[in-house]
Amino acid sequence: MKTLYINRFASSEHGTRSTVTYEDSLWHGIERPWLDNLPYESCIPTGTYTLLPWNSPRYGEVYIFVGGSVGLTEGDGARFACLIHPANWPRQLQGCLALGKKSSEYYEKEKSAAVWSSKDALSDFRETMGYEPMQAIIRWVLP
């Protein structure tokens, strides 16, 4: 099984930023800030997850985190349906992770952290990782 590393390195009220890596592949990640695991609001808790292919009615072929306090469906855990899907701003996420080809610590127009080329990054991610189950490790990495 492939192992994906989500290495968080910064968080503020403007969003949580990370690098997402598999072997030599690198993407930039954006999430909402940590808000005590509040459903639809908080970034995904640190930990080890199974990342499954998922067909979202809203986003199409994406990935869903399962494990720890994050369940596949409502009632399976404190949180559910935490996805990797396209987005540029934390405000476009409801407790999910978005990938980008580039990132910005702070984008003045939106007053937020951001990732860029999110749809292209997810397509590249899908091509690199395949559309099969994998392990995802979310952790903090200090600079």
So where are the chain's domains?
3-140
What pLDDT, on the 0 to 100 scale, is given for residue 40? 93
CA atoms of 67 and 73, how far apart (whole Å):
12
The confidence band for 109, taking pLDDT boundaries of 50, 70 and 90, is confident
In the chain, the percentage of residues whose pLDDT exceeds 90 is 86
What pLDDT, on the 0 to 100 scale, is given for residue 36? 94
The confidence band for 108, taking pLDDT boundaries of 50, 70 and 90, is confident
The confidence band for 116, taking pLDDT boundaries of 50, 70 and 90, is very high
Residue-wise pLDDT for 35-79, tens only, equals 999 999 999 999 999 999 999 999 999 999 999 999 988 888 889
In the chain, the percentage of residues whose pLDDT exceeds 70 is 99
